[in-house]
Amino acid sequence: MKSQTAMALLLVLILPLGFARIWRLQHGIDSQLASVSQEPDDVLLRSGKLVKIMSLEYAPLMADIYWTRAVQYYGNKHVRGQANLEMLWPLLDVTTTLDPNLIVAYRFGAMFLSQAPPAGAGRPDQAVELIRRGIQANPDYWRLNEDLGFVYYFDLKDYPKASEAFLEGSKKPNAQLWMKVMAAKIAAEGDSLSTSMFLWKDIYESSSDPMIKENALQRLKLLKAQEDCMRLDALADEYAKRNGRRPARMTDLVQAGLLRGVPADPEGFAYVFGEDGKAELNLDSPLLEQQVLLERLNKVVPR
Amino acid sequence: MKRVGIVALNTFREAVRDRVLYNLVFFALLMMLAAVVVGQISIGIEESVIVSLGLSAISVIGLLISVFIGVALVSKEMEKRTLYALLAKPVRRWEFLLGKFGGLVLTLAVNTAAMAAGLFLVMLYVKHSLQREDAVVLVAVYFIWLKLALIVALALMFSCFTTPLLAILFTAGLYIVGLYVQELRNLPVDVMSPAMAAFTKWLSYLLPNFENFNVMAMAAHGRAVPGTLILQNTLYAVIYCAIVLTGAAAAFSRKNLK
């Protein structure tokens, strides 16, 4: 009896201590492995057709698993600010081969691929290929044409092809009327502020993903700021015409009766005039950081 | 026919007694876990993954039951020597076999229906409401049940003339081959001799085509299944089961039970 009690006590002592040691040891092993392995993510099977054959009849479930892997891969890299997203294309390729009707993989996948690093893979060419594959598998889904137009318009700056994509989409069942309008507008004007605002607004309203919504909202705020600055520059020109000099401060425009009050950006920070006399974002505005980042990204993206 | 019914009912009771339906607990836990986790680790597939995962789980669990219990239906009776007592009564061998088949198919029907009910509850939790197009999930579940019935028939047939282990291997092998029948049909005929091309063509029609019953992708995306396909698949399963069970009955009637 005594020996049984002693054994029980020993177990009570050994179990927590033993597992606590194992826990710490595993942490040590993890950090060791992380230091020797530079790229733990890997897509062992890159052939979508092979994975489909191996999935027996469970290809739709495998597609969901691969899609979740793609989202996790992109999310992890995005959080760490890592620009290397070379596994993204194989993951999306396998996902869409396993389930050609998984619309979300084309739409979000193209977004992940097209954006410049570190926000995305900086491969708008692959985004175009992915969406074209999606259109082939889902010919009645007009939103994919919208996405194609979006990539051509914002990332590749290829306005004739963007217009063509919107026009093609406008012919599909249930396509919204503005698709045709957008096609004509882009064909006539190319890049314009109102077109950009409309497209980001549509992304903001049609997406249910918080990350995409936030990105679209930031873009809309920046575009609004850009539009405000252009208007303020026009007023400053008017001020210069009347007074023979450009305004130094926003209050100059208010005092001249050209503005009712000092205008603020969408984050509530008052606009200022820069050294060149042009209206710009306040140094304290959080939008300024976004703007600098976007300008840097635009320089990185190969046109 | 009454004797077949009695054997079937007893087979069902035996399966329940053997806690076959305990797999439902595993299924329920899996679906609850998926409903909570998937929304947080992925984007845009919260609804479709529930359907894909649910149907896959129904199929895998059903397959395991069909193959392992299907093979054991006859061999267990022989091992326990209960078959001799039964056949001493006015029950023909084919009636015993048909009853066993019916009993397991009934067990699978109850099991599959319970899992389908669970799947619909999880879908209701995730989507907050069910739409008309969700009815396609019911069709997918029905097709899985038809497929399982066919597998039970095959398992029963193999178990009539070989050992349980070999019967499991043959059934599983035929199931996997049956998923790629279409590939067999699509083999490049120009590189084969005419005789070989004819052989592969005939073989592709003789083998059970399990891909017929796979509408999981359509169910996951809420696409309707044509009514004609439902009818055709039902007929295919009934006729194929009848052929296989006739073969099984012939093998079993010749089997030396001494």
Nearest CA in chain B to A71: B42
> Hey, is A291 helix, strand or coil?
helix
Condensed to tens digits (0 to 9), the pLDDT of residues B133-157 reads 889 999 999 999 999 999 999 999 9
pLDDT of residue A303: 32
Q: Does A104 touch chain B (CB under 8 A)?
A: yes
Nearest to B217 among A59, A67, A208 (CB): A59
pLDDT of residue B116: 93
Mean pLDDT across B29-49: 78
Rounded to the nearest 10 degrees, the angle between the axes of helix A178-189 and helix A193-206 is 150
Residues on chain A touching B48 (C-beta within 8 angstroms): 60, 64, 102
The architecture CATH gives domain A48-186: Alpha Horseshoe (1.25)
Whether B52 sits inside 8 A of A61 (CB atoms) is yes
Mean pLDDT across A143-159: 91
- pLDDT confidence tier of residue A20, bands split at 50, 70 and 90: confident
Nearest to A101 among B38, B59, B217 (CB): B217
Interface test with B, best of A52, A55, A64 (most B CBs within 10 A): A64
Q: Which of A18-22, A172-176, A278-282, B134-138 has the lowest mean pLDDT?
A: A18-22
Q: What is the 3-state secondary structure (H, E, C) of A144-187?
A: HHHHHHHHHHHHCCCHHHHHHHHHHHHCCCCCCCHHHHHHHHHH
Interface test with A, best of B41, B43, B133, B177 (most A CBs within 10 A): B43
- Rounded to a whole number of angstroms, the distance from the CA of A83 to the nearest CA of chain B is 21
Question: Which residue type occupies B36?
Answer: V
Residues on chain B touching A208 (C-beta within 8 angstroms): 44
> Hey, is A248 helix, strand or coil?
coil
Place of tokens 């986790």: B37
Condensed to tens digits (0 to 9), the pLDDT of residues B42-89 reads 777 888 888 988 999 999 999 999 999 999 888 888 888 888 888 788
Condensed to tens digits (0 to 9), the pLDDT of residues A269-303 reads 888 888 888 888 888 888 877 777 666 555 444 33
- Rounded to a whole number of angstroms, the distance from the CA of B114 to the nearest CA of chain A is 21
- Rounded to a whole number of angstroms, the distance from the CA of B213 to the nearest CA of chain A is 9
CB atoms within 10 A of CB A105: 29
Which residues have C-beta within 8 Å of that of residue B1, sequence separation ≥ 6? Answer: none
Whether B56 sits inside 8 A of A61 (CB atoms) is yes
Q: Write out the residue range of the structural domain in which residue B94 sits.
A: 2-254
- Rounded to a whole number of angstroms, the distance from the CA of B209 to the nearest CA of chain A is 12
Nearest CA in chain B to A212: B43
Query: What is the Cα–Cα distance from B108 to B125, expressed in whole angstroms?
Result: 25
Our count of domains for chain B comes to 1
Contact between A237 and A279 under an 8 Å Cβ cutoff? The reply is no
A283 phi/psi in degrees, rounded to 5: -60, -25
Contact between B103 and B7 under an 8 Å Cβ cutoff? The reply is yes
Contact between A228 and A272 under an 8 Å Cβ cutoff? The reply is no
ipTM above 0.90?
no
- Rounded to a whole number of angstroms, the distance from the CA of A275 to the nearest CA of chain B is 45
Whether B216 sits inside 8 A of A61 (CB atoms) is yes
Nearest CA in chain A to B178: A56
Residues 156-185 of B with CB under 8 A from A: 176, 179-180
- pLDDT confidence tier of residue A35, bands split at 50, 70 and 90: low
Parallel, antiparallel, or unpaired: how do β-strands A279-280 and A272-273 relate? antiparallel
pLDDT of residue A169: 92
CB atoms within 10 A of CB A164: 18
Nearest to A101 among B42, B176, B221 (CB): B221
- The CATH 1.25.40.10 domain(s) of chain A lie at 48-186
Which residues have C-beta within 8 Å of that of residue A135, sequence separation ≥ 6? Answer: A141, A144, A145, A148
Nearest to B41 among A56, A68, A107 (CB): A68
Residue B244 has pLDDT above 50, yes or no: yes
Percent of chain B exceeding pLDDT 70 equals 98
Residues 46-85 of B with CB under 8 A from A: 48-49, 52-53, 56, 59
A243 phi/psi in degrees, rounded to 5: -105, -5
pLDDT of residue B120: 92
Whether B56 sits inside 8 A of A58 (CB atoms) is yes
- pLDDT confidence tier of residue B100, bands split at 50, 70 and 90: very high
User: Does residue B1 or residue B251 have the better pLDDT?
Assistant: B251
pLDDT of residue A302: 37
Condensed to tens digits (0 to 9), the pLDDT of residues B150-203 reads 999 999 999 998 899 999 999 999 999 999 887 777 777 677 788 888 888 888
Query: What is the Cα–Cα distance from A64 to A55, expressed in whole angstroms?
Result: 12
